[in-house]
Amino acid sequence: MTSTKYRLKVIFWYVGQLLIWFPAILLLPTIFVIFYPEEWIYIESFLVPSIISFASGVVLKKVSKLNETRVVGYQEGAVIVVTTWCAAVVLSALPFVIEGLLNFHQAVFEATSGWTTTGLTMFPDVESLPHVFLVWRSVMQFIGGAGFAVIMLATLIGPFGASLYSSEGRVDNILPNVTHSTKVIMVIYVAYAAAGMFFLHMAGMPWFDAFNHSLTALATGGFSVKNASIGYYGSVSIEVITIVLMLLGGTGFGIHYTLWKGNFKAFVKNGEPWIMGSTIVIASLFLLRPAEKVFHEKALRYVVFQVVSAITGTGFSNADLVPWVTLFPIGVYLLTVIMMLGGMMDSTAGGLKQFRVFVTLKLIYRSIINFMGPRRKVEKIIVWKGENRKTIDDGIIKDMFVFFGVYALTYLVGTLILMSYGYDPLVSMFEFSSAMNGVGLSVGLTSPNLPVGVIWTMTVGMFLGRLEFLVVFYAIVRIIRDVKILLEERGGVNS
């Protein structure tokens, strides 16, 4: 058997394994039929894709003809992660299509927005949706935030899936074993979610609302059960609790683990929290004066909440952002930039990530010092990630700037496509930044009436941003090469 055929068998086995278990996620919202028995009629919408998923998984595992787990390399890991994400998005879109709530294009957009924890929505009136569909949107974001393929495959397969961890854009194993790292992530994640739900309810939010908002705030997802998002409640205490949850979601799991262990000495050496905190304070102070002229006594609430929502990639809002384009354009411009910076590495947030920003600043600082000093010696750049010291070598720097280049090119192309449909440049810049960086804030462009081309442009932007661009490109190239090799082998056999 050729290496290409064997690689395909391994990929089929892993994808099949995930699809067999995916119905366990798809059917989670149906549990709420217990509390809302009148919604039992919607069970079929989730049952059909569950059957399709299970049957497809069985077929793929049979085709693979493998009986046990195999070690996965990075190339296979990239293909598996991209394939499983595509399958998850399509299967997750089907309940919306089956129930007639959205067409296929809109449903794929909604599911992609869910799994990538973006939060942009095709529903103009979420308050009219059945509870089970509101829960489904929240479940997608909660599981997508922690790393869908990582959780599923590391739990089901164990340490053999180490490459899948890095393929989802995670570079920092909390513990040496991927399975143990995944379990620690879930313990931290679920504990915060439970605490968030409790405190939101104590602040006056109904239990159902508190459940959904706690999940999506921590996942930095932003799906809400209210059309006006968090602004619906008009409560300072709810907004403060939500800000805390958003910051927790935007903080790397390695840093959370460091704090949980009580290692404050290592925590203060991490650059990401300092950079992120400084950005929030500086941006808020910069916007406060012009915001006071527009929003008066509510300026501080609006500015701080939106800045935290933007940098963590959550997308919740406590104010209508549509008027900001004309009344407060400087706020829209700055939020666009803040969305690009993003949260911390290995968090549920998107964007460039604070780790890359911190390393870039250290590179600039080191270059200036070396230039100004009497001797231009090259010193290693060392940063802290969680409890570990990390040396930034040339390979990491090269990967960073390749990422920056692909990021900038993708953002430019996406924004130009939106502008080609006649949308305002500022609106196009903001909306595509929100999509690509997994944020979900909107100044009014995103709606079910979008042209199909715009829907798919933003869908692709969300997908590329969540998987950090290069993994998707690696997977596409690997698939094309494998197909080409198989066709050549078949041609050789026939001749």
Task: Give the pLDDT score at 395.
Answer: 86
- Burial (CB < 10 A; 0-12, 13-18, 19+), residue 447, is middle
pTM: 0.92
CA atoms of 161 and 145, how far apart (whole Å): 19
Over residues 366-391, mean pLDDT: 78
Q: Are 467 and 164 in contact (CB under 8 A)?
A: no
Conformation bin of residue 68: beta by default, left when phi > 0, alpha when psi is -120 to 50: beta
Looking at the predicted structure, is the pLDDT value of residue 165 above 70? Answer: no
Task: Give the pLDDT score at 305.
Answer: 97
Looking at the predicted structure, is the pLDDT value of residue 174 above 60? Answer: no
Residue 451: strand, helix, or coil: coil
- pLDDT, tens only, 85-132: 999 999 999 999 999 999 999 999 999 999 999 999 999 999 999 999
Task: Give the pLDDT score at 385.
Answer: 85
Q: Which residues on neighbouring strands pair with residue 484, listed in sequence order?
A: none
Q: Are 457 and 418 in contact (CB under 8 A)?
A: yes
Tokens linked to 462: 């969300």
Looking at the predicted structure, is the pLDDT value of residue 157 above 80? Answer: no
Looking at the predicted structure, is the pLDDT value of residue 451 above 70? Answer: yes
- pLDDT, tens only, 394-409: 888 998 999 999 999 9
Task: Give the pLDDT score at 177.
Answer: 56
Task: Give the pLDDT score at 178.
Answer: 61
Terminal CA-CA length for the chain: 19
- pLDDT, tens only, 260-300: 888 899 999 999 999 999 999 999 999 999 999 999 999 99
- pLDDT, tens only, 57-89: 999 999 988 776 666 677 788 888 899 999 999
| Residues belonging to the chain | 495
CA atoms of 165 and 186, how far apart (whole Å): 14
163: number of Cβ within 10 Å: 18
Residue 118: strand, helix, or coil: coil
Q: What is the mean pLDDT of the chain?
A: 89
Confidence of residue 247 (pLDDT cuts 50, 70, 90): very high
C-alpha closest to that of 316 among 231, 258, 405, 425: 231
Least confident of 2-16, 43-57, 103-117, 309-323: 2-16
CA atoms of 164 and 15, how far apart (whole Å): 12
For the chain, helix, strand, coil in percent to 5 are: 70, 0, 25
Q: Are 104 and 418 in contact (CB under 8 A)?
A: no
CA atoms of 329 and 320, how far apart (whole Å): 13
Task: Give the pLDDT score at 377.
Answer: 63
Q: Are 239 and 207 in contact (CB under 8 A)?
A: no
